[in-house]
Structure 1
Amino acid sequence: MKFLIIIPAHNEEAHLSFTLESLQHQRFKDFKVVVVNDGSIDATPEIIKRFTDADARFETINLQKSAHQPGSKVVAAFKNGLNTQNLNEFEIICKFDADIILPDHYLETVETAFQNHPEYGLVGGLLSVKKNGSWVYEGNSNKNHVRGPLKAYRKECFEEMGGMRETLGWDNIDAVLLENLGWKEVVLPELRVKLLKVKGSDYTIKPADYYGRYFYFLGLNRFLAYVASLKEAMKNKSLSFFLQIVKAYESCRSQKLELKISKDEQQVINNRRWNALKKKWLKI
């Protein structure tokens, strides 16, 4: 199975070479990498050129600088890279970040998982971050969810669910949609990927605004959005945080901002959230 790996990169001079080197060192060799230079103004283009000049499996495209919006910007860059390729040549489509280090057996293990399990639609490993000199599990989200920096989709699954959505929350929306179509999302815990940069550190919006917008673009109805907001506020032990999240959510609703998911897909997402809520809190 051949991999198409698309890596959006914006001002990643400190990390990108580590990511690309870890791909060059993979034991599994049948892949193509497209690095999307998303308006970088640092040495990112020079780093990309070093790899494209030396290895025919590496390509690049250049985009003009755009405003940083969580979720939508990275997916837009990904799609620009995807549109340059003939998908008939590939069986696995990956969206990787430009600040990760993959173990040398990563692609090999993912390919084997897809080969042996035709029901697998999305596969990935676990992210680790460096703390006190040691690499430890990141702990963001749960261990059954493939995180945004290391998505690997079976092409049939990717196409059936309509690809990634250009919106905040895309990396949770995909999991719900593919599962609803009968595919499985699988995390391989033996695959530990080093994450070099803390996610969200370069976001330009406040945390409460982020969550409010996230819950809106995820398609949550008011009740479930308020429950999710309360959960985040309890983590912060702050009533004002809850009110700020709700305010941001309601602002999006009042503006009737465009969602990138259909009414049916919204219902699927809300049903899954509601079922999880009943199972965890109501014991139904």
Structure 2
Amino acid sequence: MISPVRDEARFIDAAIDSMAAQTVRPTAWVIVNDGSTDHTAAMARTRAAELDFITVVDKPDRGHRHVGSGVIEAFNFGLSASPIADWDYIIKLDADITYGPRYIELMLAEFTREHRLAAVSGRVFRPEPGGDVEERKSADMVCGPFKFYRRAAFEAIGGFEQTLQWDGIDIHRARMTGWRTYNIANLEARIHHHRLMGSSQVSIVHGRMRWGRGIHFMGYHPAYAVASGLYRMRDWPYVVGGLLIIAGYFRAAAQGAKRYPDPEFRANLRRWQLRQLAALPRSAFSAARRHLVGVRHSP
């Protein structure tokens, strides 16, 4: 288990508390201090002295946050310092999340049940005063803040790529190599994310535009990019956030922004996306039919 951390002093104690409370604890947890300027490293070392499975390593400071590739650069630094020869699973874990005590136990049960499962997660929620708000993902996606991989599958896809959209590229590479990925709805597997998904250190507007540029880089089909933006209109900031994703995508396209440098991957991704879009009318019809049958048989 590896956690790249940079200036996470607000969250890291709670993150470590969640891990310490697990019914199944990790063999090893390497926390990579990626140039923190606050008390993150000191807090992690204090907790490492209490918990024998935690090791803290310092990565040379690049001097700034580097979106996308920076976190994987730090992850790979931690991976090189980890005893992975003894690991059956490889986890990339953020320090701004919390989760229940059976989380790892439940994920391991999924790997036992499904032998072609590459990666799995619970579903992500943002704590709000009125209750938890789900950060919605499609059923086959695995949350980026807690990437729980079978080691054999992680190696089959070549690990995480040090690039934009690394946490979408890995999922499609798993599909291409015959592995499954999904998230589960179990209440005991809820992940509480203490930052808004798709935001940035600048602003939520900047984060949504960056999201659009990222899916353009990855190789999204234009129709799927629009569908993704429409889907995200139901998330905060409502309507506007989805429009910004679409705008970011088409702005990147108009500027001739660079794409992920694997044409076979991009072509395969687009074929998969078009199949998903083609299946939408059938899915909507089936859902409506189930609803009508339920109404017809209700007392």
Q: Which bracket does the TM-score occupy, shorter chain normalised?
A: 0.7 to 0.9
The structure that is strand-richer by fraction is: 1
Where do 1:1-284 residues align within 5 Å? 5-63=1-59, 64-134=61-131, 136-190=132-186, 191-204=189-202, 206-207=206-207, 209-220=209-220, 224-225=221-222, 227-229=224-226, 232=229, 235=233, 236=239, 242=246, 245-253=249-257, 257=258, 259=260, 262-280=262-280
- Tell me which of the two structures has the higher relative contact order, counting C-alpha pairs closer than 8 angstroms and 6 or more residues apart: 1
Q: Report if the CA contact (8 A) 1:213-1:248 is conserved.
A: yes
Counterpart secondary structure, 1:109: helix
> With structure 1 as the length reference, what TM-score do the two structures score?
0.85
Deviation of 1:166 (Å): 1.6
Residue type of the alignment partner of 1:193: I
Q: Report if the CA contact (8 A) 1:126-1:137 is conserved.
A: no
Cα deviation 1:176-218 (Å, max 9, x = unaligned): 1112211111212111111122234334482564144212321
The number of residue pairs the alignment matches comes to 271
> With structure 2 as the length reference, what TM-score do the two structures score?
0.81
Q: Report if the CA contact (8 A) 2:212-2:247 is conserved.
A: no
Provide the C-alpha distance between the structure 2 equivalents of 1:266 and 1:243, rounded to a whole number of angstroms. Answer: 20
Provide the C-alpha distance between the structure 2 equivalents of 1:244 and 1:111, rounded to a whole number of angstroms. Answer: 38
Q: Report if the CA contact (8 A) 1:167-1:217 is conserved.
A: no
**Root-mean-square deviation over aligned CA pairs:** 2.6
Deviation of 1:230 (Å): 6.9
Distance change >3 Å, CA 49–CA 244, structure 1 → 2: closer
Q: Report if the CA contact (8 A) 1:7-1:78 is conserved.
A: yes
Residue type of the alignment partner of 2:251: K
Percent of aligned positions that are identical: 23
Provide the C-alpha distance between the structure 2 equivalents of 1:107 and 1:76, rounded to a whole number of angstroms. Answer: 25
Q: Any stretches of 5+ residues in structure 1 without a counterpart?
A: none
Provide the C-alpha distance between the structure 2 equivalents of 1:263 and 1:11, rounded to a whole number of angstroms. Answer: 36
Distance change >3 Å, CA 193–CA 227, structure 1 → 2: closer
